[in-house]
Every structure is written in C-alpha cells, then in structure tokens.
Amino acid sequence: MPITQLLGTKDTNDSCRTFIFQGEGHTLGNALRCVISGYPDVEFCAYTVPHPMEHSMHFRIQMKKGRAVDALKRGLEDLVAVSDHILDEFSREKQAFDGRQELST
C-alpha cells in the first residue's frame, strides 16, 4: 500500500498533514479514523475518498502537539493489534462452536 505525504504550506509544520493511501478506501479509512480520533493529542482526524474511480483515500491528521506522521504510525500499529485480537477471539469461539456441534451429532 503506497502512501504519499502531502507537504504543508510555509505556515504549517509537522503537526498537520494529509496522507494519500493508494488502493484504499472507506474500510481502512473509517477504522483508522476511529482509532486515531481517540488519541488525546489529536485535534482533528478525517478521511475522504475523492472519487470512486480514483482508488485512493486522503487521510488528514492535525495534532495539538506532536507529529502527524507519528500518530499515523501509532494508529496503524494499534489497528493491526485490534484486528489480531478480533481474529484470535473469532477463531477461539469458532473452535468452541465446532466442538459443541460435534458433541450434538
């Protein structure tokens, strides 16, 4: 997944950035927005998919303090951890369900 970082103007610093994710859309955008919006140092976090035929997602982060790229990295890592936890729980529950099905037959 290639990511491009749009540089700001002379009035902005590292605390405010827009990242463009190629080949991504609402699925990643909404999940990542939910994770990053909960961080206390994040002032604003949103995404947009400019056009369905463009196959890219623009992701904007504005920080109260700190660097936007650090919040993005943390958000991606936290989203992976949440996804892994969900997968583990689902697999555990499916195995338990399959075991109950075998006992009833």
Residue 105: predicted pLDDT: 67
Kindly tell me if the per-residue pLDDT of 18 is higher than 90.
yes
Q: Which has more confidence, 2 or 67?
A: 67
The HSE-up count of residue 23 (CA atoms within 13 Å, CB side) is: 3
Domain enclosing residue 64, as ranges: 3-104
Q: Which has more confidence, 1 or 43?
A: 43
Kindly tell me if the per-residue pLDDT of 12 is higher than 80.
no
Overall domain count for the chain = 1
Kindly tell me if the per-residue pLDDT of 8 is higher than 80.
no
pLDDT band of 19, cuts 50, 70, 90 = very high
Q: What is the pTM of this model?
A: 0.82
Is residue 63 within 8 A of residue 42, CB to CB? The reply is yes
The CATH number for 15's domain is 3.30.1360.10
Residue 58, strand partner residues:
20, 48
Cite the beta strand spans of the chain per DSSP E. 3-6, 16-22, 42-48, 56-63
Write the DSSP symbol of residue 29: H
